[in-house]
Amino acid sequence: MENKDDFYMGLAIEQAKQAGEIGEVPIGAVIIMQDEMIAAAYNRRETWHDATAHAEVIAIREACAKLGCWRLTGATLYVTIEPCPMCAGALVMSRIDRLVYGSADYKAGAVESLFNIVQHKSLNHQLFVTAGVRSDECSTLMKDFFRQRRK
């Protein structure tokens, strides 16, 4: 599983780089089902003037449209940064089975840093979580982006 996780996180990192190139916060996500990428997205909040246009939400919308179903049972979402509360809730509501993320987000993370929405026992669905996949690369993308913005 580890090599696949590294490979698929690389696809999410490529999405994040595309976001950074257009001035968006460099967060990327891909959804994999049965070893096939069914969705790929990056942040578009600035471009679309939409507070909900996070990489995870866009990827979920794309996957649901492709499959013609809102339930993404059997899918794994790879994302470069720990999901925020909105995205963590969307993961639960879409019934994604597994979440793999790169770096923790100590300001808004809702998987381990501030909350754990995706494994909350009161909800009717919990995800399996793998954290820290290619964490250094994911973290560096964010740090470099914000360092450039401050110049």
- Mean of the per-residue pLDDT values for the chain? 96
Q: What is the pLDDT at residue 148? A: 86
Cα–Cα nearest to 41, from 70, 4, 92, 83:
83
Please, are residues 109 and 83 in contact by the beta-carbon 8 Å criterion? yes
Band of residue 1 on the pLDDT scale cut at 50, 70, 90: low
Cα first-last separation, the chain: 40
pLDDT at 129 over 90: yes
Taking each helix axis from N to C end, the angle separating 55-67 and 85-93, rounded to the nearest 10 degrees, works out to 20
Please, are residues 15 and 55 in contact by the beta-carbon 8 Å criterion? yes
Average pLDDT over residues 10-19: 98
Q: Of the residues 36, 56, 82, 137, which is catalytic?
A: 56
pLDDT at 86 over 70: yes
Tokens of residue 11, six digits: 């696809």
Q: Tens digits of per-residue pLDDT, 87-111? A: 999 999 999 999 999 999 999 999 9
Is residue 36 flagged as an active site residue? no
pLDDT at 2 over 90: no
Q: What is the pLDDT at residue 149? A: 82
Q: What is the pLDDT at residue 150? A: 84
Q: How far is CA 23 from CA 30, 33, 68, 92, 142, in A?
A: 20, 30, 32, 29, 12
Which helix (H) or strand (E) element contains residue 101?
A: strand 98-103
